[in-house]
Amino acid sequence: MKVSSMLIKEGVIHDPVTKKKYQADILIEDGQIQEVAPTIDRKGHEVVEAKGLWVLPGLIDMHVHLREPGREDEETVLSGMKAAINGGFVSLVCMANTDPPVDDPSVVDYILAEARKVPGFRLYPVGTITKDRKGSQLSEMYLLRERGVVAFSDDGSPIMDALTMRRAMEYCKPLGIPLILHEEDLSLSEGGQMHEGFYSTLLGRHGIPSLSEELVVFRDSALAEAIGVPV
């Protein structure tokens, strides 16, 4: 990803630090921004004409599925990172519902080893909350954290048992990283084909009530507040 020398002309810069938006030229040398000014004329650089375009810092996607290991036919760590770069993203948080899931330190090691194939790319793996995302036995959260996960999630599957969620929050707290939760009460949503409401009734389809999500959000908000963890 390293850009050795480049001159970006007349782009509209969106600066998230100053929260300002303005048109300017950007001079990059040895992979570093050297100058930002209304007009820069310098020879010997690759020139990118960006008139009418936005110039943004590398974007971050907080929720992606790279599917490796297990479903390399859909996506690999490498193909996902390349797609991200083409879309302007340089940092990804990748979810844990691979096959096997990220419930073992060796899976974290593998993903991070693949990530290093694209120098400069920032890939942040998420570990599972429970073993095999089954919602019962907690993962080795401490070991996963040590190996480099930045959050825990059973994304795609809810944790139906309140005590398991409570224990997960208690273990997570000293590790200083958040839980990312899939909130769904399966007893209310199971078999659902669409949102429960006027159209599900009209079409005679089994609906999923909003309450199937809201009830678990209430539960986990109360638990998180009581334990004092971010979710």
Longest CA–CA span in the chain (Å) reads 68
Q: Which stretch, 68-76, 121-129, 138-146, 154-162, contacts Zn ion (CB under 5 A)?
A: 154-162
We find the least distance from the C-beta atom of residue 65 to Zn ion, in angstroms, to be: 6
Place of tokens 């993903």: 111
CA distance 206 to 199: 10
Sign of CA dihedral 197, 199, 202, 204: negative
* Of residues 25 and 128, the one with the C-beta less far from Zn ion: 128
Estimate to the nearest angstrom the gap between the alpha carbon of 80 and the chain centroid: 12
We find the least distance from the C-beta atom of residue 3 to Zn ion, in angstroms, to be: 31
Q: Which stretch, 25-33, 77-85, 88-96, 186-194, contacts Zn ion (CB under 5 A)?
A: 88-96
Residues from 91 through 120 that contact Zn ion (CB under 5 A): 95
Could you say whether residue 155 binds Zn ion (CB under 5 A)?
yes
* Of residues 95 and 216, the one with the C-beta less far from Zn ion: 95
CA distance 81 to 120: 11
Could you say whether residue 184 binds Zn ion (CB under 5 A)?
no
Residue in the shown chain whose Cβ atom is closest to Zn ion:
155
CA distance 48 to 172: 46
- With vertex at residue 94, the alpha carbon angle to CA 150 and CA 229, rounded to the nearest 5 degrees, is 35
Residue 209, preceding peptide bond in cis (omega within 30° of 0): no
We find the least distance from the C-beta atom of residue 219 to Zn ion, in angstroms, to be: 20
Q: Which stretch, 48-56, 74-82, 89-97, 165-173, contacts Zn ion (CB under 5 A)?
A: 89-97
* Of residues 26 and 95, the one with the C-beta less far from Zn ion: 95
Binding residues for Zn ion, per CB under 5 A?
95, 155
